[in-house]
A and B are shown apart, each in its own frame.
Chain A
Amino acid sequence: MLNRSWGVTLIKLLTYLATILLVILVFCLAGFIVIQGIGFLNKELFKESVPLIITTLMVVGLALLIALPLGIFSAIYLQIYTNNGRFVKAMRFSIDSLNGIPSIIFGLFALSFFIYYIGLNRSILTASLIMSIVVLPLIIKNTEEAIKTIKVDQIQGSLALGASKFTTINRVIIPYCIDGIINGVILAIGKIVGETAAIMFVIGTASVIPHSFMDQGSTLATKLYLIIQEPTYSSNGIGSAYGIALILLLIVVLLNLLVKLVNYLFKKRG
């Protein structure tokens, strides 16, 4: 089809059409949240969501703190130190499949393994632990894809110059695939901030400012889910759920910008 001129124009048309459709969907969804939530963005809601924001940032921070080194190092090992044998393919395959497990199952795993079995308390720490496991497959996959996109000959170039695999990693691989990893981090942040099912059993519903990771608390997403669950949770019912959703989007925006800023500074200095 691509070899006929009508085929080319058709594909071009479809490409533009898909983008227009995407833009409409994306702006409708974003617009819906802003319109529904803007009315409830008053000082009182901001004050009420300060503990939620803090809890959310704690979960994001600790989850990434665990998942990032674990995920990146695992991806490096899978891509560089293995010969892509059958075992490695099977492992990568099962990691991919874990991406599809519904987060409710991670939630139940957290409840019965961390709480019932190990005896941890319901706390922000437990929530962060389970979230680090939830985003682990995402980070491993994104980092591996990033390493794959580095030109093969750049890696061979460095190895050819007698650099060991290890120095190749630091000099060539990590600097070059930072952008891929950053995208993985952004997807992971999105997943952690928006997650409810995986953590609602283990994080409690307290809405006070937590003092330590051992305290309970609710993130923006779990509070929002609770309000939808029982609108009497907040004074103006479901409306404040939209308000919190807006604040949540704000946090996602700030976190994404922060990550990109860190990446930019790292590149300028590196």
Chain B
Amino acid sequence: MKKILSLVLILLVCTSCKESSNQLEVSGSTSIAPVMEKLIASYEKDNNVKINLTADGSSAGITAATDGVSDIGMSSRSLTKDELKDDLNVNIIGIDAIVVVVNKNNGVDNLTIDDLHDIYSGKKTNWKDFGGINRPIVLVSRENGSGTRDAFEENIKVKTDQGISLVDSNNPVIVNSTGAVIENVAQKEGAIGYMSLGSVDDEIKAIKLNGVEPSEQSIIDKKYPITRDFYLVSKKDNKKVDEFISFILSKKGQQIMENEGFIKVK
């Protein structure tokens, strides 16, 4: 018994020395994490640096980058005024379209931004107002503070000047994961939800916005109305960080972004 306890003590002691060598800590937005994992995998192949990834949300990423706990913070929403510090540099590494999804049996396949505004603010509550079947609309929304939700609600203007979202007062189904959005929309015929273009799968149906089909081309031509940028936040003049970011913005990096359904910046 004594041996075990001494082993534990040694373990505790030796860990307090912080490892600085060639390791990078990346943490933040869950929407960016999947593609970041692939970027890291390909970057680590030809550079001997170990990059650790944690997916704990956009704001956690920004805070970690500001406090230096992470070398790079990922955010799928634009930074607020007091988050923007002068010793931070912010790079946009890709553009993502936010797609509106409905149940596969829902006849509606095109909505305008104003329709979305009426639906999510609770003015219109039945699909028959949009030529669909007579069934109440079930709003599926992401949690407060999710980058995807911020970008979506910014575009369909459902936030009062007080900063309160009208969506909350219409008994929405609030979930904090894309998987739950898919499951709720797939099982409920009256449901409407939104997610990043790359996440749409065959259990649900993505619809056109203002008549425009969500595709890479329509986003590049700026015709698709709801997009958002992927930001990387990091401290200035850190060589290893800048090398990694320049890799992401390189042809190879942007190609990986595209394979994952996101739009190239360069």
Contact = CB atoms under 8 A, between A and B. Distances in A.
* Direct contact, A vs B (beta carbon within 8 Å): yes
B137 interface: no
Given A116-B69, A205-B37, A214-B19, A231 B182 contact: yes
Contacts of A213: 11, 15
Contacts of B164: none
B16 interface: yes
Interface size class of A (residues with CB under 8 A): 20 to 34
Interface stretch (B26-34, B114-122, B220-228): B26-34
Nearest to A201: B56
B58 to A, nearest CB: 13
Contacts of A116: 67, 69
Contact of A228 (B8, B15, B27, B179): B179
A75 to B, nearest CB: 16
A198 to B, nearest CB: 13
Interface string A36-78: 0000000000000000000000000010011001000000000
A230 B25 contact: no
Given A119-B16, A121-B18, A229-B179, A69 B5 contact: yes
A232 B199 contact: yes
B260 interface: yes
B182 A238 contact: yes
Contact of B4 (A69, A204, A205): A69
Contacts of B37: 205, 207, 233
Contact of B56 (A65, A66, A200): A200
A125 B15 CA distance: 8
Given A115-B69, A226-B55, A232 B260 contact: yes
Interface size class of B (residues with CB under 8 A): 35 or more
A116 B63 CA distance: 11
A115 B182 CA distance: 34
A241 interface: yes
A69 B3 CA distance: 12
Contacts of B261: 232
Nearest to B60: A201
B16 A232 contact: no
Given A69-B5, A119-B16, A201-B60, A230 B199 contact: yes
A118 interface: yes
Contacts of A214: 15, 19
Given A231-B182, A238-B182, A205 B177 contact: no
A231 B199 contact: yes
A237 interface: yes
A118 B178 contact: no
Nearest to A214: B15
A201 B177 CA distance: 16
B53 A206 contact: yes
A32 to B, nearest CB: 13
Nearest to A132: B8
B16 A120 contact: yes
Given A206-B52, A206-B53, A230 B34 contact: yes
Interface string A220-235: 0000001111111100
B84 interface: no
Nearest to B67: A116
Given A121-B19, A201-B54, A229-B55, 9 more contacts: A65-B4, A69-B4, A123-B15, A203-B54, A206-B52, A214-B15, A229-B176, A233-B34, A238-B179
Interface of B: 1, 4-5, 8, 11, 15-16, 18-19, 25, 27, 30-31, 33-35, 37, 52-56, 60, 67, 69, 176-180, 182-183, 198-199, 201, 260-261
Interface of A: 62, 65-66, 69, 115-116, 118-123, 125, 200-201, 203-207, 213-214, 216, 226-233, 237-238, 241
19 contacts: A69-B4, A119-B16, A122-B52, A200-B55, A205-B53, A205-B55, A206-B52, A207-B37, A214-B15, A214-B19, A216-B52, A216-B53, A216-B54, A229-B55, A229-B178, A230-B55, A231-B178, A238-B183, A241-B179
Closest 6 CB pairs of A and B: A228-B179, A229-B177, A232-B34, A216-B52, A205-B53, A204-B54
